[in-house]
A and B are shown apart, each in its own frame.
Chain A
Amino acid sequence: MSLVLSETAAFLQDQTQRFAREKTPTSHFRSVRDSENPECFDREIWKQMADQGLSGILIPEEFGGSNFGLSGIGVVLQELGRTLTPSPLFATGVIGASFLTKIGTDSQKQKYLPEIANGNLTTCFAFEEGPRHKPIISKVTAEKKGKNYIINGKKSFVVDGGFADLIIIAAKTSKGPSLFLADKNSKGIDINIAKMVDSRNSANITFSDLEISPENILGEIDQAQDTIEEILDISRAALAAEMLGGALEAFEITINYLKEREQFGVKIGSFQALQHRAANMFTELELCKSCVLESLSCFDEKSNDIPRIVSLAKAKIGETFHLISNEGVQMHGGVGVTDEYDIGLYLKRARVAEQIFGNSEFHRNRYAELTGY
């Protein structure tokens, strides 16, 4: 398994790094946040990202994508994570694109995938049903009525749910979970934006007798569990890459501060109490880099150990991003808790990103189960 970037991935990383530094430094995140734009992202920037091919990395070429795989989108998300770039890339370019590519019918693929690739269509995945991640659907139900299905119940913490055009809904049918597609403007959908601490878009969505016609069933009825698990793992690996980017940046910001800030007439970075903690953070980051690279490449190389490797990556980067963002704030001293300095923004993003599709504790538990204890 390759732990070194391919040429394609290195190219994508370079391209995205330039894009993020020029177009979406953290000042971009701040301006979106402060504009009170309820979508929490900039459509013009998203269009430019799509024009660079970023929205189509996981989409087959016949539908307008580049099919560069998880390793490709991972490095992109990592670079965007460094500058906290808000965009639909995760919920649309990773989750939506993966679901439709994996189990969409030909006509669903024709209809949606090219639109995702060109940046015109956004998606979200209505999955969670409570405040903590649980990969089993139990509360939102879909009942058969003639050829159609009727969906009722409430979903929470839907990433990008406040604006996404197309909602992918996981609901319980008679013998297991099933997946459905719904336009956000359909009758029976009530979207409430949940304003999150990291200023990204999230929503609680209530379905009241939402009626789904057969062409909007995604995959086989009752048979969605395996697909859901697979797409959750893809999403977790992608998110771990974004988190790695955030952690690397927060670390570098902090190290630079240690080299600049003076107290007692010396740079505070000369204090051993801070040096050793910084060295520990560096060590944890090096481990995270390996886990994230492995979790991205294990899909492209079709490993038989994907769930365990993904849980390893998500748990390790979850712990480490907290460690670094918390230590970062502390080492900045008073300015660390001001809005003016960026370090606090990473602290907030770390918490939300860790919670998406399972926090570190969840993934340690899953790792233990998969290893047999």
Chain B
Amino acid sequence: MTDLTLFREETRDWLETNCPPEMKKPMTPHGMTWGGRNCKFSHPDQELWLKRLGEKGWTAPTWPKEYGGGGLSYDENKILAEEMTNLGTRMPLASFGLWMLGPALLEYASEEQKMEHIPKIIKGEIRWCQGYSEPGSGSDLASLKTKAIEDGDNFIVNGQKVWTSYANECDMIFTLVRTGPQEPKHDGISFLLIDMDQAGVETKPIKLISGASPFCETFFTDAVVPKKNLVHKLNKGWDVAKNLLQHERKMLASMGLGGSKAASKGKTGSGLATLSKKYVEVKDEKIIDEGLRQKIAKCDMNSHAFSLTLKRVSEEAKNSNNGPSAATSIFKLYGSEHNKQKYEIMLEAMGSQALGWEGGEFGPEELAITREWLRTKANSIEGGTSEVQLNVISKRVLDLPQ
């Protein structure tokens, strides 16, 4: 038996023994665990599952063991993901710490900072949010104005961030601040870790067209940040900011592995078609409206093709040391545009049942789809608009003239 076969068997045994029953059921709308000091679990099994995986480091399977990570190789991690998919286990922890901050810290933070922050990310003890955009700095992020001024052992921070996801529920915020007002705009930015549990930090949820408020405005008024919370060098925060984005894409690639498996497994059916069949005319399992049927097929095929691409890029990354390939630049663009498309088709299929706002005439799933349809409109805006992604591809990948 090879080491990997053995690892697969051990992993499967461990997951079967340790995954609580509720965590083998499909995810529910409120079933996601986000961690943090004020973490609320909608079921006790969520807490148990997070605790068990967190102790093993398997919320961050490939991170080094010395900081509490799983220390798994690429192949072992792939096996773990496959076994979790096979067993249908839920993701134990959704976290911007895991997806964005942690990998950047591993690269740029001091040893002391890593020891302080990474284990808490892995165990879900601290919930992080991202302080990047400002009211006047959206696509042109590097024009940001939030100021940090040195004052003894601290920075004093003043300014405003916007679109800070879940800021009102988070413990800490990783923030881009201007520390060099005289320097060219990219060279005067620093990367600070700011504790939100202080008087100088206030959050105010923004009500969206979906009715939900996943985003906030975050205000800094003489917020105090110890200098030990400066990551990397002063005025070199843009390096960290860019690196963090790269890791976001890489993480997206590895998250896609589970999806591609399901898509390539064959007669697993189509979520879009199954949903549509409840609302449209069907004969012999076939959707009669040929226009809708072709749209669904096109959308399913795009999902399938996208999953294969995530998988291809992650295989290529394994086989080369060149870092993320050119193809990674398409993920954000394609993923968000595709998701919007998918919800448009759902609405088209469901007719007036997808147009409810609230009340008993609509099922909870229907209402959730309507709200999610509205939510998807932000997909191609947050984290860099689709137009910004297109600019990045044309300039950095295709090398088209300025």
**A contact residues vs B (CB 8 Å cutoff):** 1-4, 255, 258-259, 266-267, 269-270, 272, 274-276, 278-280, 282-283, 286-291, 293-294, 303-305, 308-309, 312, 315-316, 361, 364-365, 367-373
Contact = CB atoms under 8 A, between A and B. Distances in A.
Nearest to A364: B297
A368 B333 CA distance: 25
Contacts of B137: none
A36 B47 CA distance: 76
B264 A283 contact: no
Interface centre among A270, A279, A309 (most CB of B within 10 A): A279
B359 to A, nearest CB: 30
B316 A276 contact: no
A2 B300 CA distance: 22
Interface in B208-252: none
Of residues A280, A289, A361, A369, which shows the largest number of chain B Cβ atoms within 10 Å of its Cβ? A280
Nearest to B314: A3
Contacts of A274: 400
Contact of B330 (A283, A364, A367): A283
B240 to A, nearest CB: 26
B286 interface: yes
Interface in B260-294: 264-267, 269-270, 273, 276-277, 285-287, 293-294
B115 interface: no
In the A-B complex, list the 7 residue pairs whose CB atoms are closest, starting with the nearest: A373-B273, A275-B394, A279-B393, A3-B312, A290-B308, A305-B266, A368-B297
A294 to B, nearest CB: 5
A255 B398 contact: yes
Interface string B370-402: 000000000000000001011101110111111
A368 B296 contact: yes
A291 B401 CA distance: 30
Contacts of B266: 304-305, 308
B273 A283 contact: no
Contacts of A270: 400-402
Nearest to B282: A373
Interface string B33-70: 00000000000000000000000000000000000000
Given A275-B400, A372-B267, A291 B308 contact: yes
Contacts, number: 137
A215 B269 CA distance: 44
Given A3-B311, A365-B294, A373-B296, A279 B394 contact: yes
B4 interface: no
B294 A293 contact: no
A290 B309 contact: yes
A239 B89 CA distance: 40
Max count, chain A CB within 10 A of own CB: residue among B305, B309, B316: B305
Given A267-B401, A368-B287, 15 more contacts: A3-B308, A3-B311, A276-B394, A279-B391, A279-B398, A283-B334, A283-B393, A286-B330, A288-B305, A294-B264, A303-B264, A364-B301, A367-B301, A371-B270, A373-B276
A276 B397 CA distance: 12
B139 interface: no
B394 A369 contact: no
B85 interface: no
Given A4-B312, A367-B301, A373-B293, A266 B393 contact: no
Contacts of A1: 264
Contacts of A372: 267, 269-270, 273, 285
B315 A4 contact: yes
B273 A290 contact: no
Nearest to A269: B400
B128 interface: no
14 contacts: A255-B400, A259-B400, A266-B401, A275-B390, A279-B393, A282-B393, A282-B397, A316-B301, A365-B294, A368-B287, A372-B270, A373-B276, A373-B286, A373-B296
A283 B319 CA distance: 22
A168 to B, nearest CB: 30
B25 interface: no
A371 B395 CA distance: 39
Contacts of B277: 373
Contact of B294 (A266, A288, A289, A361): A361
A291 B286 CA distance: 25
Q: Is the interface of A mostly helix, strand, loop or mixed?
A: helix
Contacts of B305: 287-288, 290-291, 312, 316
A287 B287 CA distance: 27
Interface size class of chain B, counting residues whose CB lies under 8 Å from the partner chain: 35 or more
Contact of A365 (B297, B327, B333): B297
A309 B294 CA distance: 17
A321 to B, nearest CB: 14
B302 A269 contact: no
Contacts of A287: 302, 305-306, 308-309, 330, 334
Q: Max chain A CB contacts within 10 Å: which of B267, B277, B326?
A: B267
B371 to A, nearest CB: 26
Contacts of A305: 264-267
Contacts of B319: 4
A117 B312 CA distance: 33
A269 B399 CA distance: 9
Given A1-B264, A269-B401, A369-B286, A286 B273 contact: no
A94 to B, nearest CB: 23
B298 interface: yes
A360 B309 CA distance: 20
Nearest to A366: B297
Contacts of B269: 371-373
B24 interface: no
A233 B395 CA distance: 38
Given A278-B398, A287-B334, A294 B308 contact: yes
Nearest to B312: A3
A266 to B, nearest CB: 7
B301 A282 contact: no
Contacts of A312: 301, 304-305
B125 to A, nearest CB: 38
Contacts of A275: 390-391, 394-395, 398, 400
Contacts of A279: 333, 389-391, 393-394, 397-398
A24 B341 CA distance: 42
A4 B298 CA distance: 25
Nearest to B386: A276
Given A3-B315, A4-B315, A269-B401, A315 B301 contact: yes
B7 to A, nearest CB: 20
A288 B387 CA distance: 22
Contact of A368 (B273, B304, B391, B401): B273
A363 B326 CA distance: 29
B282 to A, nearest CB: 8
Contacts of B304: 291, 312
Contacts of A283: 330, 333-334, 393
Contacts of B298: 364
